[in-house]
Each structure stands twice: as structure tokens, then as C-alpha cells.
Amino acid sequence: MPEAAIGFIPDVGMSYRLTHLRLREEGGSSGEADGAGADGTGADGADVGGADLGGGDVGGAGAVPRKSIAVGTFIGLTGWRLSPADLLYTGLATNLVADVDAVAHALETREVSEVLAPDSQWSLGADELDQPRSALRDNAAFIEEVFAYGDWLEMSRRLRDYEPAGERHAGAGAGAGEGHAGAGEGHAGDNGTAEFVEQVRAAVAKGNPVSLAATVELFHASALVDLPTALDYEAVLARYLRRQPNFTEGVRAVLVDKDHAAAFDPSTAEGVDIAELRALLMS
């Protein structure tokens, strides 16, 4: 659930988990992923395992994971519905299997490393998914540019003003007297990015601005501490937000009346007292 839409924040340790992601670069995923994410079954019918079982690369060899707070912050703010490919990219899942029951049976008599090896009969590669590409990976440049730093007010302004590369190049070409057709060549992915950006704008527009600001402050703080401390941070902000009228309004709009038309106050990022949120985390 997008917690900001009900006037809340990501909790149950997700502020820690999402700020300690190990992203897998193009070409596969790595068994070096941090901790256990959620297990789930994708729309493709394949099972995506989230436990860190110490296996080898899945879907390709030699992938080197890298850390990024931007992707986790993006997920926390938008409540983005993660595909199997997204789960592998973020390291929230480590393995893709066709039949989880068959894997469980195999583990009764075989070593984990054998069963979850990339070339085992039980493993699938990401390229075998109906939708093998991760939207988060494909739009990584946008996510990093908008969500990597700053408070929610700064992020919201970068999101508002963001222009996909194709639009920037087309505008520059037109200003220099060049044709639009020439300026647009070589940017086949830009339309997809533009659509993704609009989806992101629509997602955060449903959120309580105070919750969105609190999520950013929470994630920045949780990125620097251990899990127990991050849970304490979540508890502090959760107690604060549950007492706010925005929480009641968000629950009404999403879970009770289901009109998804919450009237939050303040209604924009400009009206949020970020200093108050930071003081809560320091208390």
C-alpha cells in the first residue's frame, strides 16, 4: 500500500530495508544481496524468492551490486508496485524459480547452492519473464536525479520540473534552428520515460504532503543507523502521524469511502513544517 495516501509512513522496518538496497546492474543479479525481502509470485506465474541464501548470480554472471538510497526512497514515496524484474534489480529478491514447491522438495535432498545455481533445472533467468525489463532499472537516471538527495520540498520541485532527455534535446535543437525529427533521433526510450514520470507524479499526488516529507526524513535518518534504531524512528513518526487529522482523512479516502479524494492539510509540500519532523527524529 502507498502509506502516504493514508497519511502514514512506511514501517515494519522498511525504512531500513529500502535504504540498504544493493542494486543489480544490467546482465543479472547477485547473491550478495542484503537480507531478506518479501517473497512473492509475479504476474508471470514465476516465484521470486527474497531470502538471502548465498547463491550465485541469477540471470547473468558478474553483476556487481551497488548501493543507492534514491531507489528505496522512490519506492517508499510512491508505493510502487514492484514487478519480478524490479524485485531482482533491487535485491529484494535473489532468485527466480518456475515452481516453488519443486524447489522446496529439491532442498530436502540437495544443497542450496546446487538448487539455486543460475543454470540449475529449477532456476529461471530474468529474460524468461513475460516482462523481463525492470521499470526501475530502465528509469534509473530519472530516479537518481530526482530522489537521491534533499528534502521532500526539493524532490517535489525536481519532479515537477523534470523533462525527459528527448524533450530537452528537441527543445535545444529547435532553438538552434534544427529540425525536430533530427533532434528526436536516437531517443526511442524517451517516450517510455515520459510516461513513467507522469505515473510517478500521479502516485505522489495522492499522498499526504506531511507523510511524504516525513518519509524522506525517516529514510535519510534510517540510512545511517541499524535496524533497531530505524524501527524506533518509525515508531516516533507513526505515533505523531496517527494523531493527525490527515491520517483519519487518508484512511477514509482509501479504505472506507474509497473515493481516493483525500483533502489533506497542508495540501502542498510548501506548507509542511520539516523542522518539526526532524525534531521528532532527534528527540
CA separation for the pair 265, 145 (Å, rounded): 28
Instruction: Please give the DSSP secondary-structure letter assigned to residue 223.
Output: T
* pLDDT(77) > 70: yes
Residue bearing the bigger pLDDT, 93 or 265: 265
Which three cell numbers, joined as nine digits, stand for 133?
Answer: 525489463
Mean pLDDT of the chain: 80
Residue 48: the pLDDT is 45
Confidence of residue 171 (pLDDT cuts 50, 70, 90): low
Mean pLDDT of 56-85: 73
Residue 253, CA distances (Å) to 1, 4, 164, 180, 275 in order = 13, 12, 32, 44, 28
Helices 209-222, 69-78: axis angle to 10 degrees equals 150
How confident is the model at residue 126, as a pLDDT? 72
What is the rounded CA–CA span in Å between residue 198 and residue 145?
Answer: 15
What average pLDDT does range 44-57 have in this prediction? 39
CA angle 219, 239, 40 (to 5 degrees): 55
Residues 6+ apart with CB under 8 A from 103: 47, 97, 115, 116, 122
Res 125: pLDDT: 76
Cell, residue 78:
510512491
pLDDT at 41: 40
pTM, entire model: 0.77
Q: Specify the 3-state DSSP secondary structure of 83.
A: coil
d(CA 178, CA 217): 44
Summarised one tens digit per residue, pLDDT across range 179-227 is 443 333 333 345 568 899 999 999 999 999 999 999 999 999 999 999 9
Cα-based torsion angle of the residue sequence 1, 16, 73, 71 in order, rounded to the nearest 10 degrees: -100
Tens of pLDDT, residues 129-157:
777 888 999 999 999 999 999 999 999 99
Least confident of 109-113, 154-158, 165-169, 206-210: 165-169
Higher pLDDT, residue 179 or 170: 170
